[in-house]
Structure 1
C-alpha cells in the first residue's frame, strides 16, 4: 500500500474509532439498582451453554465436555455425552431445547468434533433425548468441514424461530480470507435446518451449484450470540470482531454481513484488515463496539420483574467482565448500561421461565438476578 493510501486509511480508522467511542463507549451506570445477584449454581469453570427444562431445572454445558443437570439445588453429570475435541475455544458449547420439548423430548447441542477423519475438529450439531441421567437417541444433524487443528472461532450458538426452524452459527475457524465469503465452504456462516436436520427447500442457496445448502447468512467472523427477537420474530446475532468491530446484526435470509471485506476493526497487531467499512451488497451492523467487549451470550428481556428493563437486550462481556444492558428504540441502541461490574468473564445470559435473568460467569457459576422489591 502506498504511503499516501496508508496515511488515509489510518486517518479513516482513527476517525471511525473516535466516532464509535464517542457513542459506543458511553456506558452508563444504572440510575438505580434493580436487582441483587445471587449465586445460583456454584463451582463452574466455563459454563458455555444453559437451557431450562419445563420443570424449571437447568441443563449446563461445561466447555471441558461435561453436561450438568441442576435440579433442586443438586448437580448431576449426564452420561453418554458426545466426545468433544477440546482445543482453544473448542469443546462442549451450546445447548437448546426444542420448542415442543414437552411433546418430543429433543435437546440440541453444539460442540467441536473430530468426526470426519481429518486431524483436528470442527463444529457439529446433534440432537438427543434425556433419560435416566443419560443422553439417548443421539442424531448428528450437521458437521462442518474440513477439520482443522486451529483452536479459534467455532461460533456455536443455537436458536429456534417462530416457525420451528433450527439456526446455529459456525465461526470462520481462523481462515478469514477464504471461508466467510465462499458459500461452497463451511465457516463464517449462520445455518438453518428443519428440527430433524433436513435442509429447508426455501433456504437461499439450495439451487446454487456446490453451495452449502444449509447456509442462511454468510460473511460472519465468530458469532457467539444468537437470539430471536420476541417482538418481530427475527433472529439477531452478535459476533466477535478483531481489534474493535464486534457487531450485532439482524439476520435476513441470504444476506452477506461483510467479514472480512468490510469491518470496523483492525488486526490485533494494529495493522489494517481493509480500508472500507461499507460496500454495496453487504449489510451494516445494527450496532458495533469499538473497542471490542468480546460479547458472549445474549437475551431479550420480556419480563416486567426488573423496573425499566422490558424490551432491553442483555449481552455478556468477556474482556471487560460485566453484563451490558442495551436500551433499544427502532432497532437502535440508545443507551448502554454496565451491570455486575468486574463480576468476571460473562459467558452467557438467559431469561428463565420464571421471568428472572440468569448469568453464567467463568470460574464462578451461574447467578440469578433477584429483583429488589
Structure 2
C-alpha cells in the first residue's frame, strides 16, 4: 500500500488551468436557492436540493424550482456551518422511495450530526426515522462532515467532523468526532465493521483521524473509496479510505493553525495513512465525485473536487488507478462551489454556495 501511495504522489503534478472556456459552456439551470448544500437526481428527471437553512427543495425536470419546500423535513440546528446538509437516495429508491438526510441537531451548547431516513411521497416526507446521532454532543457551530456514500453491499458511510475545538478527539475511538461511520440502512451496526470487537470503541467507526470530511465517493470501476477533508491553514487532503485505518489528524498534518501555530511537527507517522494529495495553501474541498458521464469523454473516470476558498473545481486526472495530474476548472465563475455531481444526462452539475445560490449545468461547447 505504501508503494502504491508513493507512486500516486509522484505521478501527481499540478497542470495548467488552461482548459479554455470554449471547451465547455456553463449555464444557470436553477436559481433562487439559499446556500444549497447537496443535490440528488430522481429517476423521473427531477432533482432534490438541500438548503443549509433547513429546507429540502424539488427542482422540476425543466430546471424550475418548485415554490413550496418538501414537507416533513426534520428540524435542523442552523448556525454558521450547522444546518441541513446531504440528501441521498437509497440504492433501491425506485421501489422504496427512501431518502437520507444529514443535518445538525441540538443547540449552540450541545450539538452534532444526525442522519434520518424517510419516504418521499407526493412532495413530502413520510415515516421519518432518525437512524444515527453522532456523539458526544459538543459546543460550537463548526465541522459536521455530513456527506453520504453507499458501498456495493448497500451499507452506507456518513462522514463526520471533529467539532473544530475538539481535534484531539479524532484519535479517540470511543466517540464519533473526526470519524467516518458505516451503518446498515436502518441505522444498525454491520457485524463486520472494523472496530466492532475492540473494547471501548464506537462500533459504527469505519475510519478515524479525520478533521472535517466533506467529500466521499465510491469508484465502482476501481473498487476504491475516496474522501476529501478540510485542513486548517493548508493541509486539505484527498485520501483513499480503507476500513479501520487511521488518517492521522491531528498527529500528522501538512496544515498549521489559523494563528500560525504548529499543530504537529509531523506530516507522516508510522501506523497512520498519508494522503494521496494535499493542498497547501487550502482550497477548502467541499465535495467529491467520479465523473462517468457521456458528455465529456476525456473526463471519464476522473475525480472532481469542488472548492470553497479557491472558488473552483479541481479535476484530478486518473490514468488507470494512478493519479496523473490536476486541472483547476470554473475559476471564471468566481463562486464558492459547494457540490459537484455528474447528472444522469451526462452533464456536470455544480451548486454555488451563497444566499442566492444556483444549480449550474456544464456541457461541452458546441
Give the structure 2 partner of residue 355 of structure 1: 346
Measure the CA separation in 2 of the matches of 1:137 and 1:326.
Answer: 40
1:209-288 matches, within 5 Å, as: 209-288=199-278
Give the structure 2 partner of residue 107 of structure 1: 99
1:365 corresponds to which of 335, 352, 358: 358
Give the structure 2 partner of residue 55 of structure 1: 44
Measure the CA separation in 2 of the matches of 1:81 and 1:52.
Answer: 18
Whether contact under 8 Å (2:97, 2:121) holds in the other structure is no
Give the structure 2 partner of residue 36 of structure 1: 25
Q: CA deviation at 1:346?
A: 0.2
The CA RMSD over aligned residues, in Å, is 1.8
1:90-239 matches, within 5 Å, as: 90-114=82-106, 119-239=109-229
Whether contact under 8 Å (1:161, 1:234) holds in the other structure is no
C-alpha distance after superposition, 1:122-156 (max 9, x if no partner): 10001111112211111111101222231110001
Measure the CA separation in 2 of the matches of 1:53 and 1:24.
Answer: 37
Q: CA deviation at 1:120?
A: 2.7
Structure 1: which 5+ runs fail to align? 1-19
Measure the CA separation in 1 of the matches of 2:194 and 2:65.
Answer: 45
Whether contact under 8 Å (2:342, 2:348) holds in the other structure is yes
Measure the CA separation in 1 of the matches of 2:65 and 2:279.
Answer: 39
Measure the CA separation in 1 of the matches of 2:177 and 2:75.
Answer: 21
Give the structure 1 partner of residue 5 of structure 2: none
| 3-state DSSP of counterpart to 1:38 | strand
1:89 paired to 2:78: no
Give the structure 2 partner of residue 345 of structure 1: 336
| 3-state DSSP of counterpart to 2:338 | strand
Whether contact under 8 Å (1:161, 1:233) holds in the other structure is no
| 3-state DSSP of counterpart to 1:39 | strand
Measure the CA separation in 1 of the matches of 2:306 and 2:130.
Answer: 29
| 3-state DSSP of counterpart to 1:114 | strand
TM-score normalised by structure 2 residue count? 0.91
Measure the CA separation in 1 of the matches of 2:308 and 2:21.
Answer: 24
